[in-house]
Amino acid sequence: MLEVAGLTKHYRSQAAVKRVSFKLARGETLGLIGQSGSGKSTLANLLARLDDPDEGTIRFEGEDIAATPARRSARAAWRRRIQLVFQDARDSIDPRASAFDAIVAALPPRFGSCAEVSERVLALAHSVELPRSRLVLRPHQLSGGEAARVGIARAIASEPDLLILDEPTAALDVSVQAGVLRTLDQLRERHGMAMLFISHDLDVVRILCARALVMYAGEIVENASTDALFADPRHHHTRALLGTRLSLPLALNAHAPTAHNSRPRLP
């Protein structure tokens, strides 16, 4: 459903994203890992069409969406079908809006009557496991995990085909992170959407994704199954990321298997 070819973006003379090419299939969760400054967020912004590439194509369901300038993409037919979730949802929610209103604001216009809107918001809150009682709260009154769930509910409100998650759980503690990751995995299974899951944490990517891209200095230096990345990392940067990782799988699941070909499962 997504085919990226030769995507390049410069800031001044420096290339933040260099000749990036990859494919993402419907229903697949693809990881994107790399150290800080490697170009992950720039790539996410290009794919979500918040920014324009200097070169390259982004074919979404066959259409090159990079051909439409970012400033004109708001009206494009595919706009609502691609959604981006940021690290801290509180930054992208109106601070005066309740969680309920923040989700309402993300609904497509077809939800007309108050009863329909209310029903849809409750269904979305339920699917991201956000307790109904939290819907009256404003962003600063929500916990990090609750805010992440509001951000995901907003992103899935328009039933996207592609969800780009830019470190959505990085600010959360491990147990809260596990809950949000489990919710994301269930949503993918239920709705069959494709997900690009960005993280600097290889263990989180390994839990959610069967395949991952490794980004280094703007380039994709590895594109492989997560089992292969763990068992036989080819690029020195992947080896460096593996060397510095935390023991998150053990924290998520005390019985996480250690064999290379059996990925840890969410509890």
Ligand X SMILES: Nc1ncnc2c1ncn2[C@@H]1O[C@H](COP(=O)(O)OP(=O)(O)OP(=O)(O)O)[C@@H](O)[C@H]1O
Residues that bind ligand X (CB under 6 A): 11, 16, 34, 36-42, 200
Distance of closest approach, residue 263 Cβ to ligand X, in angstroms: 23
Nearest to 100 by CA among 66, 148, 139, 60: 139
Q: Say how far apart CA 224 and CA 235 lie, in whole Å.
A: 11
**Nearer to ligand X (CB atom), residue 10 or residue 81:** 10
**Nearer to ligand X (CB atom), residue 37 or residue 131:** 37
Distance of closest approach, residue 106 Cβ to ligand X, in angstroms: 23
What is 21-62 written as a DSSP string?
A: EEEE-TT-EEEEE--TTSSHHHHHHHHTTSS--SEEEEEETT
**Nearer to ligand X (CB atom), residue 16 or residue 99:** 16
**Nearer to ligand X (CB atom), residue 134 or residue 237:** 237
Distance of closest approach, residue 32 Cβ to ligand X, in angstroms: 9
Q: Say how far apart CA 261 and CA 149 lie, in whole Å.
A: 31
Decide if 108 contacts 80 (C-beta within 8 A). yes
**Nearer to ligand X (CB atom), residue 161 or residue 219:** 219
Distance of closest approach, residue 201 Cβ to ligand X, in angstroms: 10
Distance of closest approach, residue 264 Cβ to ligand X, in angstroms: 23
**Residue 85 burial (C-beta neighbours within 10 Å; 0-12, 13-18, 19+):** buried
Query: What angle do the packed helices 114-127 and 174-191 form, to 10 degrees?
Result: 120
In the structure encoding, which two tokens stand for residue 232, read together? 């036989």
